[in-house]
Structure formats: structure tokens, C-alpha cells
Amino acid sequence: MRLIFKYIRFAFFFFLISTVVVALLYRFINPPVTPLMMIRVVQQLAEGEKPRMQYDWVRFGKISPNLPLAVIASEDNNFIRHHGIDLKAIQKAQKLNKKGRKLRGASTISQQTAKNVFLWPARNWVRKGLEVYFTGLIEVCWGKKRIMEVYLNVIEMGDGIYGAEMAAQQYFHKPASKLSRSESAAIAAVLPGPRKWRPDRPTPYISRKTSAISSLMYKIEQPEW
């Protein structure tokens, strides 16, 4: 038993130290790839398709300020104010779920970033617990600006399309720095289902959602990054 506890203790401290080191490195070094990107490639190969992974990192200053504002309006209204977990959004989601309605947005941008960079897509308590841990880690090690920069660069925005630059080029034939308010709102509108919808070919539902996000963007104060 002592040997078992020794290995458990070693594994715990190894996990703790290694994750902190990686998080600190990613504060300054851009993630070359994410687990989701690799999973999508494996899925494409398994289905006999040619791998598709369009991913081109751009620094935060090269992304139109409209886009972070749009994703805050769509995904996480309290992004600047919370510390990674939005308890009010979770409580609201639980109340709506009891009424048979589902709320989009209980998972914060920080949580989504932690999940995309460090974890795999799954719905279980182990994955969720690790997500909470990594969310706290990046909130401490990165700060809001870096979290948003990483989020906008690694988020899945289409079939084989990742990040703001590739989405802007693919859908609107312009760099991310030139995205307008309406284009940014359209990209944010499809994030819940980026392989189902396209911002340049909106369904009536996506058009309504884009308009709602665009209107909300006028009400949200532009963060001072």
C-alpha cells in the first residue's frame, strides 16, 4: 500500500507541475495544435476523407476588435468580470433546464479555451473536473487578453477551419483584421455548430441570431485589453 500511495503521490505532483509548466509556456508560445484538431483529422481519415486542417495563428492586434466583442455578446457576457466560472449563468441554465429549455452560454470563454487547448470533447465528470482545473490555471497564468487571443485562434469555425484568420479568409475573403461588426456577429452566431452552419450562408435562424448579437454588441462596453 505504501508503494501504491507513493506512485499516486508521484503521479499527482507530476501532473500538477507539468500542467503548470505547459500553461506558463502557452502564455508566451502559441499552441501548435489542439486535441480537437487531431481528433477531427483522425475522424476524417477513418471516413476515407482527405485531412482538412486550416489553421493560421494571428496575434490579437491583427484581429478586428469587433470579433472579441461579438463572441462576448454571444458566448459569455460576463467574460471580463468573472474568474473563469460564471456561477450566475450556471444557475440560470439549471433553472431553464428544469423548465425544459436549454441555455447556451453557461460555459464561459475561459472554460471553452481550457477545453480546446488541453482536453478532449466529452461529457463526463472527470473531463468537467479537469476543465475547471485548467480554467483556473489559465485565468491565473494568462489573463483575459491572452485567453481571448488563444480562444479566437484555436476555436473550431467550420469543417477543418480553425481560428479567426481562416474563418475570415474562407467566409468573407478578407483578413481577420478587416472583419466588420455584422461579419463578426455572423461568425459568433455559428460557433455552437460551426460544422452545421456557415456565417456567409445564414439560415433564417442564424440571421436572427446574428442580428441579436449585433444589437447586443452596441450595449456591451468595449473591453480595455
C-alpha cell at 126: 472527470
pLDDT in tens, 160-216: 999 999 999 999 999 999 999 999 999 999 999 999 999 999 999 999 999 999 999
pLDDT at 56: 95
| The total number of structural domains that make up the chain | 1
Q: Which runs of consecutive H residues, i.e. helices, occur in the chain?
A: 2-28, 35-46, 66-75, 87-98, 109-118, 125-141, 144-154, 164-172, 181-189, 204-219
- Specify the DSSP element, H or E, that contains 157: strand 156-158
* pLDDT computed for residue 93 by the predictor: 65
Q: Is residue 44 part of a domain?
A: yes
pTM for this structure?
0.91
Structural domain contains residue 225: no
Q: Quick one: which H or E segment has residue 156? A: strand 156-158
Phi, psi of 135 (to 5 degrees): -60, -45
pLDDT given at position 90:
72
Residue 9 lies in a domain: yes
Q: Residue 224: inside a domain, yes or no? A: no
Q: By residue range, what is the domain housing residue 137?
A: 2-219
Q: How far apart are CA 134 and CA 113, in angstroms?
A: 9
Q: Hey, which bits of 48-124 come out as E strands?
A: 54-55
Q: Is 79 helix (H, G, I), strand (E, B) or coil?
A: coil
Q: Which of 70, 30, 51 is nearest to 210 (CA)?
A: 70
pLDDT > 80? residue 102: no
Determine what percent of the chain is predicted with pLDDT higher than 90: 81
**DSSP string spanning 158-185?**
ETTEESHHHHHHHHHSS-GGG--HHHHH
Cα–Cα distance for residue pair 195/139, rounded to 1 Å: 29
In a domain, 137, yes or no: yes
| C-alpha R_g of the chain | 18
CATH, residue 61: 1.10.3810.10
